[in-house]
């Protein structure tokens, strides 16, 4: 179980399950929505995510059809996103997790879109787009 919260702590979440396919995403959308060089995201099953507090403060933004990004309307912290092509999972922003996590990032993705001032100095694989072994959305 993991606890998570936004910057102002008006939104609190609980994750009762594993976080899978953790990546550092360097695409321009993730850079802009995080305001930094990349966003670290991982998938969580929709039924494993519970809003403990602050449901009324969670607002969404639709960046493109079928995709919603959820954030705290008080402090602006990005929380998670959901895609209609993968309705059983949400993509969680790992920076909001308050607990230590056991899972680790698998790769750097969309590296051709990374900020020109950023240097990738770790040993994780680097990919031009999504990692090649990324799982497909679960079927019913």
> Number of folded domains in the chain?
1
Q: Measure the CA–CA gap between 140 and 37, rounded to whole angstroms.
A: 36
Here the tokens at position 111 are 């590296």
Q: Is residue 71 part of a domain?
A: yes
Contact 91, 42 (CB under 8 A): yes
The phi, psi pair for 13, rounded to 5°, reads -125, 160
Here the tokens at position 48 are 């494993």
Q: Which domain holds residue 11?
A: 2-113
**Three-class secondary structure of residue 102 per DSSP:** coil
**pLDDT tens by residue, 98-118:** 999 999 998 888 888 888 787
Q: Is residue 78 part of a domain?
A: yes
pTM (predicted TM-score): 0.82
**pLDDT tens by residue, 61-70:** 997 888 999 9
Q: Is residue 27 part of a domain?
A: yes
| CATH number assigned to the domain comprising residue 18 | 2.170.150.70
């Amino acid at each position: 179980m993991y606890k998570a919260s936004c910057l102002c702590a008006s939104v609190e979440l609980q994750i009762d399950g594993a976080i899978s396919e953790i990546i550092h995403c360097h695409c321009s959308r993730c850079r802009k929505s995080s305001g930094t060089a990349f966003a670290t995201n991982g998938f969580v099953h929709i039924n494993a995510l519970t809003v403990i507090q602050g449901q009324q403060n969670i607002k969404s933004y639709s960046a493109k059809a079928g995709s919603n990004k959820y954030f705290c309307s008080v402090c602006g912290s990005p929380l998670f996103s959901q895609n209609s092509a993968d309705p059983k999972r949400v993509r969680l922003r790992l920076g909001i997790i308050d607990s230590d996590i056991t899972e680790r990032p698998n790769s750097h993705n969309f590296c051709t879109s990374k900020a020109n001032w950023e240097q990738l100095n770790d040993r994780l694989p680097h990919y031009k787009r999504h990692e090649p072994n990324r799982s497909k959305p679960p079927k019913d």
